[in-house]
Structure 1
Amino acid sequence: MSTPEQIQRDIEGTRSALSNDVDLLAEKVSPSRVVGRRVERVKSGASSMRERIMGTLPDPSDVKNRVSGTAGSVADSASSAADSAKDAVTAAPRAVRQQTQGNPLGAGLVAFGVGLVLSSLIPASEPEKQLAAKAEEMAVEPLQEKAKEVAGQLQESARDSAEQLKETASSAATSTMEHAQSAAQDVQAPFQQ
Protein backbone atom coordinates (compact mmCIF):
# COMPACT_ATOMS: atom_id res chain seq x y z
CA MET A 1 0.00 0.00 0.00
CA SER A 2 1.08 3.56 -0.64
CA THR A 3 1.99 5.91 2.10
CA PRO A 4 0.53 9.41 2.22
CA GLU A 5 3.94 10.86 1.43
CA GLN A 6 4.29 8.68 -1.63
CA ILE A 7 0.80 9.66 -2.83
CA GLN A 8 1.71 13.32 -2.23
CA ARG A 9 4.87 12.91 -4.38
CA ASP A 10 2.89 11.17 -7.14
CA ILE A 11 0.34 14.00 -7.09
CA GLU A 12 3.13 16.60 -7.30
CA GLY A 13 4.83 14.69 -10.16
CA THR A 14 1.54 14.40 -12.03
CA ARG A 15 0.81 18.08 -11.37
CA SER A 16 4.30 19.04 -12.65
CA ALA A 17 3.96 16.87 -15.79
CA LEU A 18 0.46 18.25 -16.40
CA SER A 19 1.76 21.79 -15.96
CA ASN A 20 4.54 21.15 -18.49
CA ASP A 21 2.03 19.67 -20.95
CA VAL A 22 -0.30 22.68 -20.55
CA ASP A 23 2.65 25.07 -21.06
CA LEU A 24 3.74 23.21 -24.22
CA LEU A 25 0.17 23.16 -25.52
CA ALA A 26 -0.27 26.87 -24.82
CA GLU A 27 3.01 27.60 -26.62
CA LYS A 28 2.02 25.42 -29.58
CA VAL A 29 -1.38 27.08 -30.12
CA SER A 30 -0.24 30.63 -29.35
CA PRO A 31 -1.05 32.81 -32.41
CA SER A 32 2.37 34.47 -32.38
CA ARG A 33 4.09 31.06 -32.27
CA VAL A 34 1.87 29.68 -35.08
CA VAL A 35 2.70 32.70 -37.26
CA GLY A 36 6.38 32.38 -36.38
CA ARG A 37 6.45 28.72 -37.42
CA ARG A 38 4.71 29.47 -40.70
CA VAL A 39 7.09 32.33 -41.43
CA GLU A 40 10.02 29.98 -40.81
CA ARG A 41 8.51 27.40 -43.20
CA VAL A 42 8.08 30.02 -45.92
CA LYS A 43 11.65 31.28 -45.37
CA SER A 44 12.97 27.74 -45.54
CA GLY A 45 11.02 27.04 -48.75
CA ALA A 46 12.22 30.29 -50.34
CA SER A 47 15.79 29.55 -49.34
CA SER A 48 15.54 26.07 -50.79
CA MET A 49 14.06 27.45 -54.03
CA ARG A 50 16.81 30.09 -54.25
CA GLU A 51 19.49 27.44 -53.80
CA ARG A 52 17.95 25.28 -56.54
CA ILE A 53 17.81 28.19 -58.96
CA MET A 54 20.97 30.10 -58.06
CA GLY A 55 23.00 27.13 -56.84
CA THR A 56 25.28 26.91 -53.85
CA LEU A 57 29.02 27.17 -53.52
CA PRO A 58 30.60 23.77 -54.02
CA ASP A 59 32.61 22.07 -51.30
CA PRO A 60 36.37 22.13 -52.14
CA SER A 61 36.62 18.38 -51.74
CA ASP A 62 33.64 17.99 -54.08
CA VAL A 63 35.40 20.16 -56.66
CA LYS A 64 38.53 18.04 -56.32
CA ASN A 65 36.48 14.88 -56.79
CA ARG A 66 34.75 16.35 -59.84
CA VAL A 67 38.06 17.41 -61.37
CA SER A 68 39.66 14.02 -60.82
CA GLY A 69 36.49 12.33 -62.07
CA THR A 70 36.48 14.54 -65.13
CA ALA A 71 40.15 13.77 -65.83
CA GLY A 72 39.37 10.07 -65.58
CA SER A 73 36.36 10.39 -67.82
CA VAL A 74 38.42 12.30 -70.39
CA ALA A 75 40.92 9.45 -70.51
CA ASP A 76 38.07 6.94 -70.78
CA SER A 77 36.31 8.95 -73.47
CA ALA A 78 39.47 8.99 -75.59
CA SER A 79 39.39 5.20 -75.67
CA SER A 80 35.63 4.91 -76.28
CA ALA A 81 34.43 7.93 -78.25
CA ALA A 82 31.31 6.26 -79.57
CA ASP A 83 30.11 5.24 -76.12
CA SER A 84 30.76 8.68 -74.65
CA ALA A 85 28.90 10.34 -77.54
CA LYS A 86 25.90 8.13 -76.87
CA ASP A 87 26.14 8.87 -73.14
CA ALA A 88 26.43 12.60 -73.81
CA VAL A 89 23.25 12.57 -75.88
CA THR A 90 21.36 10.66 -73.21
CA ALA A 91 22.76 12.80 -70.40
CA ALA A 92 22.23 16.13 -72.19
CA PRO A 93 19.00 17.09 -70.39
CA ARG A 94 20.54 16.33 -67.00
CA ALA A 95 23.72 18.20 -67.92
CA VAL A 96 21.73 21.24 -69.05
CA ARG A 97 19.83 21.14 -65.78
CA GLN A 98 23.06 20.93 -63.78
CA GLN A 99 24.78 23.65 -65.81
CA THR A 100 21.88 26.05 -65.48
CA GLN A 101 21.07 25.25 -61.86
CA GLY A 102 23.57 27.77 -60.53
CA ASN A 103 23.22 30.21 -63.43
CA PRO A 104 19.89 32.02 -63.84
CA LEU A 105 21.06 33.73 -67.03
CA GLY A 106 21.91 30.34 -68.51
CA ALA A 107 18.54 28.98 -67.45
CA GLY A 108 16.85 31.93 -69.11
CA LEU A 109 18.79 31.43 -72.33
CA VAL A 110 17.96 27.74 -72.40
CA ALA A 111 14.28 28.51 -71.78
CA PHE A 112 14.34 31.13 -74.53
CA GLY A 113 15.94 28.66 -76.95
CA VAL A 114 13.42 25.96 -76.14
CA GLY A 115 10.60 28.46 -76.56
CA LEU A 116 12.01 29.60 -79.90
CA VAL A 117 12.25 26.03 -81.17
CA LEU A 118 8.74 25.21 -79.99
CA SER A 119 7.29 28.37 -81.48
CA SER A 120 8.86 27.53 -84.85
CA LEU A 121 7.08 24.17 -84.79
CA ILE A 122 3.65 25.69 -84.20
CA PRO A 123 2.03 27.07 -87.38
CA ALA A 124 1.14 30.76 -87.34
CA SER A 125 -2.49 31.68 -86.76
CA GLU A 126 -4.44 33.86 -89.18
CA PRO A 127 -4.16 37.04 -87.04
CA GLU A 128 -0.41 36.44 -86.73
CA LYS A 129 -0.12 36.08 -90.50
CA GLN A 130 -2.07 39.31 -91.02
CA LEU A 131 0.11 41.17 -88.51
CA ALA A 132 3.27 39.83 -90.17
CA ALA A 133 2.03 40.90 -93.61
CA LYS A 134 1.15 44.37 -92.29
CA ALA A 135 4.53 44.70 -90.58
CA GLU A 136 6.30 43.61 -93.77
CA GLU A 137 4.30 46.12 -95.80
CA MET A 138 5.10 48.89 -93.33
CA ALA A 139 8.80 48.00 -93.47
CA VAL A 140 9.04 47.45 -97.24
CA GLU A 141 7.33 50.65 -98.43
CA PRO A 142 9.77 53.07 -96.72
CA LEU A 143 12.67 50.92 -97.88
CA GLN A 144 11.45 51.01 -101.48
CA GLU A 145 11.06 54.80 -101.34
CA LYS A 146 14.51 55.18 -99.84
CA ALA A 147 15.98 52.86 -102.48
CA LYS A 148 14.41 54.93 -105.27
CA GLU A 149 15.75 58.12 -103.70
CA VAL A 150 19.25 56.66 -103.38
CA ALA A 151 19.09 55.33 -106.96
CA GLY A 152 18.13 58.81 -108.22
CA GLN A 153 21.02 60.38 -106.31
CA LEU A 154 23.40 57.75 -107.66
CA GLN A 155 22.23 58.41 -111.22
CA GLU A 156 22.82 62.14 -110.81
CA SER A 157 26.21 61.49 -109.27
CA ALA A 158 27.10 59.06 -112.09
CA ARG A 159 26.05 61.61 -114.75
CA ASP A 160 28.12 64.33 -113.08
CA SER A 161 31.11 62.01 -112.84
CA ALA A 162 30.73 60.94 -116.48
CA GLU A 163 30.60 64.57 -117.62
CA GLN A 164 33.67 65.46 -115.54
CA LEU A 165 35.49 62.43 -116.95
CA LYS A 166 34.54 63.40 -120.49
CA GLU A 167 35.76 66.97 -119.95
CA THR A 168 39.00 65.76 -118.34
CA ALA A 169 39.61 63.29 -121.19
CA SER A 170 38.86 65.92 -123.81
CA SER A 171 41.17 68.45 -122.16
CA ALA A 172 43.89 65.80 -121.78
CA ALA A 173 43.54 64.83 -125.44
CA THR A 174 43.74 68.48 -126.54
CA SER A 175 46.73 69.10 -124.30
CA THR A 176 48.48 65.97 -125.57
CA MET A 177 47.82 66.94 -129.17
CA GLU A 178 49.17 70.44 -128.58
CA HIS A 179 52.30 69.02 -126.90
CA ALA A 180 52.75 66.58 -129.77
CA GLN A 181 52.45 69.36 -132.39
CA SER A 182 54.85 71.56 -130.42
CA ALA A 183 57.35 68.71 -130.15
CA ALA A 184 57.00 67.95 -133.84
CA GLN A 185 57.68 71.60 -134.71
CA ASP A 186 60.67 71.63 -132.38
CA VAL A 187 62.07 68.55 -134.14
CA GLN A 188 61.36 69.92 -137.66
CA ALA A 189 62.74 73.42 -136.97
CA PRO A 190 66.44 72.52 -137.23
CA PHE A 191 65.85 70.62 -140.49
CA GLN A 192 63.95 73.43 -142.14
CA GLN A 193 66.78 75.92 -141.72
Structure 2
Amino acid sequence: MSESPDAIRADIERTRAELGLDVDALADKVSPSKIVDRQTSKIKGAFGSVRDKVMGAADDAGSSASHLADSASGVAHDVKAKAEGNPLAVGLIAFGAGLLAASLVPPSAKEKELAEAAKEQAQPLIDEARDIAKEAAEHLKEPAQEAVAAVQDRAQEAVETVKAEGSDAAGQVQDRASEAQGNVTHS
Protein backbone atom coordinates (compact mmCIF):
# COMPACT_ATOMS: atom_id res chain seq x y z
CA MET A 1 0.00 0.00 0.00
CA SER A 2 3.05 2.25 0.11
CA GLU A 3 3.08 2.64 -3.68
CA SER A 4 1.46 5.70 -5.19
CA PRO A 5 -1.56 5.32 -7.47
CA ASP A 6 0.58 6.49 -10.41
CA ALA A 7 3.16 3.78 -9.72
CA ILE A 8 0.42 1.17 -9.50
CA ARG A 9 -1.13 2.39 -12.77
CA ALA A 10 2.26 2.28 -14.49
CA ASP A 11 2.83 -1.25 -13.18
CA ILE A 12 -0.60 -2.32 -14.44
CA GLU A 13 0.05 -0.79 -17.87
CA ARG A 14 3.46 -2.50 -18.07
CA THR A 15 1.94 -5.84 -17.09
CA ARG A 16 -0.91 -5.34 -19.58
CA ALA A 17 1.57 -4.60 -22.37
CA GLU A 18 3.70 -7.67 -21.51
CA LEU A 19 0.58 -9.83 -21.36
CA GLY A 20 -0.53 -8.48 -24.74
CA LEU A 21 2.83 -9.39 -26.26
CA ASP A 22 2.64 -12.87 -24.73
CA VAL A 23 -0.88 -13.40 -26.07
CA ASP A 24 0.17 -12.19 -29.54
CA ALA A 25 3.17 -14.53 -29.53
CA LEU A 26 1.01 -17.45 -28.43
CA ALA A 27 -1.62 -16.69 -31.06
CA ASP A 28 1.11 -16.52 -33.70
CA LYS A 29 2.56 -19.83 -32.51
CA VAL A 30 -0.75 -21.74 -32.65
CA SER A 31 -2.19 -20.06 -35.74
CA PRO A 32 -2.89 -22.78 -38.33
CA SER A 33 -1.59 -20.60 -41.14
CA LYS A 34 1.69 -20.01 -39.30
CA ILE A 35 2.05 -23.72 -38.54
CA VAL A 36 1.47 -24.54 -42.20
CA ASP A 37 3.98 -21.85 -43.21
CA ARG A 38 6.61 -23.29 -40.85
CA GLN A 39 6.02 -26.85 -42.04
CA THR A 40 6.04 -25.77 -45.70
CA SER A 41 9.34 -23.96 -45.14
CA LYS A 42 10.82 -27.05 -43.51
CA ILE A 43 9.70 -29.25 -46.38
CA LYS A 44 10.94 -26.79 -49.00
CA GLY A 45 14.26 -26.58 -47.15
CA ALA A 46 14.57 -30.35 -47.05
CA PHE A 47 13.75 -30.70 -50.75
CA GLY A 48 16.10 -27.82 -51.59
CA SER A 49 18.85 -29.54 -49.64
CA VAL A 50 18.13 -32.80 -51.44
CA ARG A 51 18.08 -31.01 -54.81
CA ASP A 52 21.41 -29.34 -54.05
CA LYS A 53 22.92 -32.65 -53.10
CA VAL A 54 21.62 -34.30 -56.27
CA MET A 55 22.65 -31.49 -58.59
CA GLY A 56 25.99 -30.89 -56.92
CA ALA A 57 27.08 -34.53 -57.05
CA ALA A 58 26.23 -35.33 -60.67
CA ASP A 59 29.65 -37.01 -61.06
CA ASP A 60 28.70 -39.81 -58.71
CA ALA A 61 25.13 -40.97 -59.40
CA GLY A 62 25.31 -43.73 -56.81
CA SER A 63 26.42 -41.30 -54.13
CA SER A 64 23.63 -38.87 -55.08
CA ALA A 65 20.98 -41.57 -54.88
CA SER A 66 22.29 -42.61 -51.50
CA HIS A 67 22.27 -39.03 -50.20
CA LEU A 68 18.79 -38.50 -51.62
CA ALA A 69 17.49 -41.59 -49.88
CA ASP A 70 19.21 -40.60 -46.62
CA SER A 71 17.80 -37.06 -46.79
CA ALA A 72 14.28 -38.25 -47.60
CA SER A 73 14.54 -40.81 -44.82
CA GLY A 74 15.74 -38.13 -42.41
CA VAL A 75 12.89 -35.79 -43.35
CA ALA A 76 10.36 -38.60 -43.03
CA HIS A 77 11.86 -39.60 -39.68
CA ASP A 78 11.76 -35.99 -38.40
CA VAL A 79 8.14 -35.55 -39.51
CA LYS A 80 7.19 -38.89 -37.99
CA ALA A 81 8.92 -38.10 -34.69
CA LYS A 82 7.22 -34.72 -34.41
CA ALA A 83 3.81 -36.02 -35.43
CA GLU A 84 3.85 -39.20 -33.34
CA GLY A 85 1.19 -38.99 -30.66
CA ASN A 86 -0.14 -35.71 -32.02
CA PRO A 87 -2.98 -36.23 -34.48
CA LEU A 88 -3.47 -32.49 -34.91
CA ALA A 89 0.10 -32.14 -36.14
CA VAL A 90 -0.39 -35.04 -38.55
CA GLY A 91 -3.54 -33.41 -39.91
CA LEU A 92 -1.85 -30.04 -40.30
CA ILE A 93 1.13 -31.60 -42.05
CA ALA A 94 -1.16 -33.49 -44.42
CA PHE A 95 -3.18 -30.33 -45.01
CA GLY A 96 0.01 -28.37 -45.72
CA ALA A 97 1.27 -31.01 -48.12
CA GLY A 98 -2.10 -31.07 -49.90
CA LEU A 99 -2.18 -27.28 -50.05
CA LEU A 100 1.32 -27.21 -51.46
CA ALA A 101 0.47 -29.85 -54.06
CA ALA A 102 -2.79 -28.09 -54.97
CA SER A 103 -1.00 -24.78 -55.44
CA LEU A 104 1.36 -26.38 -57.95
CA VAL A 105 -1.43 -27.74 -60.16
CA PRO A 106 -3.25 -25.11 -62.25
CA PRO A 107 -7.06 -25.28 -62.25
CA SER A 108 -8.66 -27.05 -65.18
CA ALA A 109 -11.27 -25.49 -67.44
CA LYS A 110 -13.94 -27.66 -65.78
CA GLU A 111 -12.87 -26.46 -62.31
CA LYS A 112 -13.01 -22.84 -63.46
CA GLU A 113 -16.46 -23.46 -64.95
CA LEU A 114 -17.70 -25.07 -61.73
CA ALA A 115 -16.27 -22.26 -59.62
CA GLU A 116 -18.04 -19.66 -61.76
CA ALA A 117 -21.33 -21.62 -61.54
CA ALA A 118 -20.98 -21.89 -57.75
CA LYS A 119 -20.32 -18.15 -57.56
CA GLU A 120 -23.44 -17.40 -59.64
CA GLN A 121 -25.55 -19.75 -57.51
CA ALA A 122 -24.22 -18.22 -54.30
CA GLN A 123 -25.00 -14.64 -55.37
CA PRO A 124 -28.71 -14.82 -54.42
CA LEU A 125 -27.72 -16.18 -51.00
CA ILE A 126 -25.24 -13.35 -50.55
CA ASP A 127 -27.90 -10.81 -51.52
CA GLU A 128 -30.41 -12.43 -49.16
CA ALA A 129 -27.89 -12.41 -46.31
CA ARG A 130 -27.18 -8.73 -46.96
CA ASP A 131 -30.93 -7.96 -46.90
CA ILE A 132 -31.38 -9.92 -43.68
CA ALA A 133 -28.49 -8.04 -42.09
CA LYS A 134 -30.01 -4.69 -43.10
CA GLU A 135 -33.40 -5.77 -41.76
CA ALA A 136 -31.85 -6.93 -38.49
CA ALA A 137 -30.06 -3.59 -38.18
CA GLU A 138 -33.36 -1.76 -38.69
CA HIS A 139 -35.06 -3.94 -36.07
CA LEU A 140 -32.27 -3.30 -33.62
CA LYS A 141 -32.22 0.46 -34.17
CA GLU A 142 -35.42 1.14 -32.19
CA PRO A 143 -34.51 -1.06 -29.17
CA ALA A 144 -31.07 0.55 -29.14
CA GLN A 145 -32.62 4.02 -29.12
CA GLU A 146 -34.95 2.96 -26.31
CA ALA A 147 -32.01 1.60 -24.36
CA VAL A 148 -30.12 4.87 -24.83
CA ALA A 149 -33.16 6.84 -23.65
CA ALA A 150 -33.53 4.55 -20.62
CA VAL A 151 -29.87 5.02 -19.74
CA GLN A 152 -30.22 8.78 -20.10
CA ASP A 153 -33.33 8.78 -17.87
CA ARG A 154 -31.57 6.66 -15.27
CA ALA A 155 -28.53 8.93 -15.39
CA GLN A 156 -30.76 11.99 -14.92
CA GLU A 157 -32.47 10.30 -11.95
CA ALA A 158 -29.08 9.52 -10.46
CA VAL A 159 -27.97 13.16 -10.88
CA GLU A 160 -31.14 14.38 -9.18
CA THR A 161 -30.71 11.87 -6.36
CA VAL A 162 -27.10 12.94 -5.82
CA LYS A 163 -28.15 16.61 -5.81
CA ALA A 164 -30.92 15.95 -3.30
CA GLU A 165 -28.69 13.88 -1.04
CA GLY A 166 -25.96 16.51 -1.33
CA SER A 167 -28.40 19.26 -0.36
CA ASP A 168 -29.66 17.21 2.59
CA ALA A 169 -26.11 16.49 3.71
CA ALA A 170 -25.17 20.16 3.37
CA GLY A 171 -28.23 21.14 5.43
CA GLN A 172 -27.31 18.62 8.11
CA VAL A 173 -23.75 19.94 8.19
CA GLN A 174 -25.04 23.50 8.56
CA ASP A 175 -27.43 22.44 11.34
CA ARG A 176 -24.66 20.66 13.22
CA ALA A 177 -22.29 23.56 12.70
CA SER A 178 -24.91 25.95 14.10
CA GLU A 179 -25.57 23.57 16.96
CA ALA A 180 -21.85 23.28 17.67
CA GLN A 181 -21.48 27.03 17.53
CA GLY A 182 -24.36 27.37 19.98
CA ASN A 183 -22.74 24.87 22.33
CA VAL A 184 -19.44 26.75 22.16
CA THR A 185 -21.05 30.13 22.88
CA HIS A 186 -23.10 28.70 25.83
CA SER A 187 -20.05 27.12 27.42
Shared fold (TM-score greater than 0.5)? no
TM-score normalized with structure 1 length: 0.38
Higher relative contact order (CA 8 A, sep 6+): 1
TM-score normalized with structure 2 length: 0.39
